Amino acid sequence: MAITTISSREFNQDTSGAKNAARNGPVIITDRGRPAHVLLTIEEYRRIAGGGRKIADLLAMPGIDEVEMEIPRWDELPRPADLS
């Protein structure tokens, strides 16, 4: 994965070039020499963001009834430290 860095001015002058570069990896767009934005393909964004799945969608997945999950009882949860 290639990381490309361009200035805001370069981005404004060659947006399609930045979009093409984003196919090979993130494009960091700088503002006054400092990183300000990152351009990603939608596929990469969804991969990083988890695809926008909602818990209701995950619970409705086939085979979910076979997943074992142990939920601790309320009185078993860690308590805050007493710093007094």
3-class secondary structure, 8: helix
Interval 40-55: pLDDT, tens: 999 998 888 876 667 7
Cβ-contact 11, 18 below 8 angstroms: yes
What DSSP state is assigned to residue 34? Answer: E
Domains in the chain: ranges and CATH: 4-62 (3.40.1620.10)
Residues of the chain under the 70 pLDDT cut: 51-53, 64
- How is the beta sheet containing 4-7 ordered, strand by strand? 4-7, 27-31, 34-39
Backbone angles phi, psi at 33, to 5 degrees: 85, -5
Verdict on whether the full-model pTM lies above 0.85: no
Residue 29, pLDDT score: 96
Contact between 54 and 33 (Cβ < 8 Å): no
Give the distance from CA 23 to its chain's centroid: 16
Residue 53: what pLDDT? Answer: 67
